Structures are given as C-alpha cells and as structure tokens.
C-alpha cells in the first residue's frame, strides 16, 4: 500500500525567505508525482508534475525535485510572498499495486509580510 | 477550455435525504475520479470511472454511495440517506487517456453539509 508523508505539517516564514517542503512515499514504483496548492475552502491547483523518468521540474519561483529510488520529493519556493500562503499537497500516482493518486496530508504554509 | 466543473459548490442536506454531486470533466477527458476530503484530513480516493464503466471503486463505502459516468452528460456521485459523517468536501478530477503521463486536473469541489 502506497503511503505519502509530508513534513513539516505547518510552516511559518517571513516574506522573502527561500523554503523547502518535503514529501516521502513508501513505494518507488510510481508513474509520476504531482504538487498541488489548496487555498482555504477552495479546490486544488496543480503546480508541477514530475514524471518518474524526470529529476526535476521548474515553474517560475517553484522547483520540484524527485528522487524515485529513495522515495523523496522536495518543493523549493524561492523568495516567498504572502500570496504563497496556502496548503501544499504532494500526490503520487502508482506504486503499492494501485492506479490511484495517493495524497499526503499537506504542509500548511504561512508567509508573513 | 473550461476546467473541471463541479456543481453545486455548496450543498446542505438533512439527515436521511439524498445528495447528488455533478462533475463535468475537462473537454476531451474520458477518465474521472472522485475524492473526499474530511475536515483536517487528507484527500481520500473514492472511485475511478471511464465512460459508462466503473474501473476502481475500492474507496467507496459499501452502502449508500454510488457513482456513474454516462455516455452523455456529467459524472454523478450519489449519496443516499445521508448522515452527519458524510459532511465533507468532494472533489472530482479528470485526466486524458489515464493519468500516468498527463496528471490530474481537479475541480473546485462540492462542500456537503448534513444537518
């Protein structure tokens, strides 16, 4: 059974700081890994999708890395802004004998002005 | 090109009533997934459907819950005789030709409150 863990559960930083969110998964036989953002009471916005054959993906101030063999991914946010405040969710597709997308519980990020 | 459309956004039902949640996938997407998010919990898979077929319903409660994705029209998640524990946000996602290469696109969700 695939399990996804995100650390830390919550993070509070001052504006302008660079930060790293961590995601680990138990079964490395994944197809891909996706990072999402969820604002309170809202849906999920896809940030980055990393295929199992890729090592990293970048979009603007966001960079996500994937180390499939060790079951880890990181989301790096450069020069954080108050508008980045949200819950960030990591999800893996595949592994554990499943075709499902399995989510971590998320990291709640607060960026203070 | 509209994204995944879910309606209603908010739904209030009394205990024992039925709830019907609708999801229109991204145009051209033939794979639909339903997830449930309980308060302070992560998103949990419920069911995976392709047009007219249920592919994986391993996350669906055995009773009161059903889902369909007809040849024409939106996917429907139906909850009969709702109870307070069904109060949650229900999210629909779609993908093109399976999510292995293309990832998932999520809707804004339906927030069900059972009173």
Condensed to tens digits (0 to 9), the pLDDT of residues A45-101 reads: 999 999 999 999 999 999 999 999 999 999 999 999 999 999 999 999 886 666 788
Q: What is the pLDDT of residue A101?
A: 87
B28 forms beta bridges with none
Q: B69 is written with which tokens?
A: 């994705």
Closest CB to B43: pick one of A31, A49, A103.
A103
**Confidence band, pLDDT 50/70/90 cuts, at residue A42:** confident
Q: B58 is written with which tokens?
A: 């391993």
What parts of chain B have a pLDDT lower than 70?
A: 1, 98-100
Closest CB to A106: pick one of B42, B104, B106.
B42
- A-to-B residue pairs, Cβ atoms closer than 8 angstroms: 64
Query: Would you call A94 exposed, middle or buried from its count of C-beta atoms within 10 A (0-12, 13-18, 19+)?
Result: buried
Sheet strands (E) in chain B: 5-7, 10-13, 19-24, 31-37, 43-50, 53-56, 65-68, 75-79, 88-95, 105-106, 110-114
**What DSSP designation does A99 have?**
-
**Confidence band, pLDDT 50/70/90 cuts, at residue A24:** very high
B56 touching A (Cβ < 8 Å): yes
Q: What is the pLDDT of residue A97?
A: 62
B96 touching A (Cβ < 8 Å): no
């Amino acid at each position: 059974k695939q399990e996804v863990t995100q650390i830390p559960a919550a993070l509070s930083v001052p504006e302008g700081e660079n930060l790293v969110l961590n995601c680990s998964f138990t079964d490395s036989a994944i197809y891909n890994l996706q990072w999402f953002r969820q604002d309170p009471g809202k849906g999920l916005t896809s940030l980055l999708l990393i295929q199992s054959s890729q090592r990293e993906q970048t979009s603007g101030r966001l960079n996500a890395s994937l180390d499939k063999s060790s079951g880890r991914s990181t989301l790096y946010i450069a020069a954080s802004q108050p508008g980045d405040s949200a819950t960030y969710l990591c999800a893996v597709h595949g592994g554990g004998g499943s075709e499902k997308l399995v989510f971590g519980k998320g990291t709640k990020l607060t960026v203070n002005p | 090109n509209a994204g995944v459309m879910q309606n209603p956004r908010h739904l209030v039902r009394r205990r024992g009533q039925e709830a019907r949640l609708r999801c229109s996938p991204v145009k051209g997407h033939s794979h639909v997934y339903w997830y449930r998010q309980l308060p302070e919990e992560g998103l949990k898979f419920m069911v995976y459907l392709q047009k007219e077929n249920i592919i994986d319903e391993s996350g669906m409660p055995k009773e009161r819950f059903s889902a369909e994705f007809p040849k024409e029209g939106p996917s429907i998640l139906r909850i009969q005789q709702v109870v307070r524990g069904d109060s949650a946000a229900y999210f629909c996602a779609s993908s093109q030709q399976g999510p292995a290469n293309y990832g998932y696109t999520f809707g804004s969700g339906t927030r069900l409150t059972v009173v």
